[in-house]
Chain A
Amino acid sequence: MEHSPPPFFKRGPAPLVRLFFFASLSLALLVLDARFRYAEGLRGVLALAAYPLQRAATAPIDFLRVVGDYFSTQGQLFEDNATLRAKNLALSQAAQRFETAEAEAAQLRRLIGAAEKLEVKSTPAEILYSGRDPYAHKIFINLGERQGVKPGSPVADEAGVVGQVTRVHPLVSEVTLITDQDHVVPVQVVRNGLRAIAFGGGASGMLELRFTAGNAEIQNGDRLVTSGIDGVYPPGLPVATVVRIERDTENSFARVICRPAAGVDRGRFVLVLSDETARPPRPEEAQSSKERRSEKARRARAKEKEG
């Protein structure tokens, strides 16, 4: 049994060796991608290779949708028209009120010398498909680097914040939804201005306000909007409504559950907001501990010389 096979039966390295080789290669890639995000270039190339297949996969559904739209009945159109007209009336009234309020606010702002706030530019985008990862809550939209989407841009629909662009490919972009476990939005309660932080609830499809004091003044039905202090989301966009509050005497924090305002898992169109407001630059970070230590040493040496 000791003799080796003749050379023409050689099949390269043994399968187990190959498994170790490819497994270690994968693990290295995983660490590079998850911890350092070094693999973005490779990901971009591969995503571009997969793009035609993705488009082909969504094409029949788009076609069916177009056919369905074409044959939508006249009655449906009449009904839609009536509801839209009623809504238009209500909205135009609201818009008038909004215009006066905005004019008033602009005047007041000028009065106190605050920086004139620039309008947020918004680009409509279509949702291509929802995330292909059961472990995360993401969607893909049909705008990419070519159309000027930048990573970090907030994404909203007509009802409120949907999420944030986290990865930009040449033709598509990946949007992490606000319900994703790793997503965080700084919010503010409309009623009293209380600031809080909304974390994604993962599979539940809800948001959770963490680190809210047990005696914080918050109640069911409170509406939450973005506070804008993070520099990512423009202030005042609706985020969620509080649906449940659990105050526990054992914990110093209350458990506040909120339902997202936007159709996070519904709808076909979203707006990509690009907030180009001129913000003052962030103040420099506090000195790192290393620098501080060296400075301390320098000071001590100076003192010794004086002494």
Chain B
Amino acid sequence: MALGGKSEHILRPARVSTVAASFAIALLLNFLPWKDLRLVPDFVALVLTFWCVRQPRLVGLGVAWGVGLLVDAGNGVLLGQHALAYSLLAFISIWLSRRILWFGPFLQAGHVALILAATQTLVLVVRIVAGDAFPGWAIYVGPLAGALLWPMVSWLLVLPQRRLEREQTI
């Protein structure tokens, strides 16, 4: 298995500052003036999935809900739609965390695609109930793009925990 060798390393526990910084960068990426928002992956959801899978005790539903509210207010959408969707995302990620970590990066990405698509569907249902029109199937391109980014994102986010471990072996 591709990740088999790496995952045997004992990683340092994630620091709260690392988590906060990763969320700040993800929010920044989300707030970039993208041309068509439907095709852009939701970076915050991706980072949240990562932390819920890796550190379910540190980042859980409470953090997900708070970050969701921040995304709602920053994007000027219905207050609570992302909070609801991210709570579901955190729940599924924590529930599946043991299972997901068993697989290699590409099968992990498959799981993440399903989680992100479920989140997007929940947002879609909320907006349609609130009286908005269906914005086209292109909204599912974002979750798929996010899943494709998963191997890179998970590699990047594990990096701060791994570097010190390497220094210790030297």
- A residues sitting closer than 8 Å to B (CB atoms) are 11, 15-16, 18-19, 21-23, 25-30, 32-34, 39, 42-43, 46-47, 49-50, 53-54, 56-58, 61, 129-136, 138, 140, 167, 174, 181-182, 202-203
Contact = CB atoms under 8 A, between A and B. Distances in A.
B87 A23 contact: yes
A46 B84 contact: no
Nearest to B25: A53
19 contacts: A15-B91, A23-B87, A27-B84, A29-B69, A30-B78, A33-B80, A39-B80, A57-B28, A57-B32, A58-B31, A58-B33, A61-B33, A129-B33, A132-B77, A135-B132, A135-B135, A136-B77, A181-B132, A181-B133
Given A39-B79, A50-B31, A25 B73 contact: no
Interface string B69-84: 1101111111111011
Interface residues of B, number: 46
A232 B94 CA distance: 50
B91 A19 contact: yes
Contacts of A22: 61-62, 64-65, 83-84, 87
Contact of B84 (A26, A135, A181, A202): A26
A55 B21 CA distance: 17
B132 A136 contact: yes
B142 to A, nearest CB: 9
Nearest to A47: B73
A42 B22 CA distance: 24
A34 B68 CA distance: 17
Contacts of B70: 46, 49-50
A54 B73 contact: no
A181 B136 CA distance: 15
B76 A140 contact: yes
A181 B130 CA distance: 13
B79 A132 contact: no
A199 to B, nearest CB: 12
Nearest to B38: A134
B156 interface: no
Contacts of B136: 203
Contact of A133 (B33, B57, B76, B83): B76
Given A29-B83, A30-B80, A57-B31, 16 more contacts: A23-B84, A26-B68, A26-B83, A26-B84, A29-B80, A32-B79, A39-B80, A42-B69, A46-B69, A50-B74, A57-B32, A61-B32, A129-B31, A135-B133, A182-B131, A203-B135
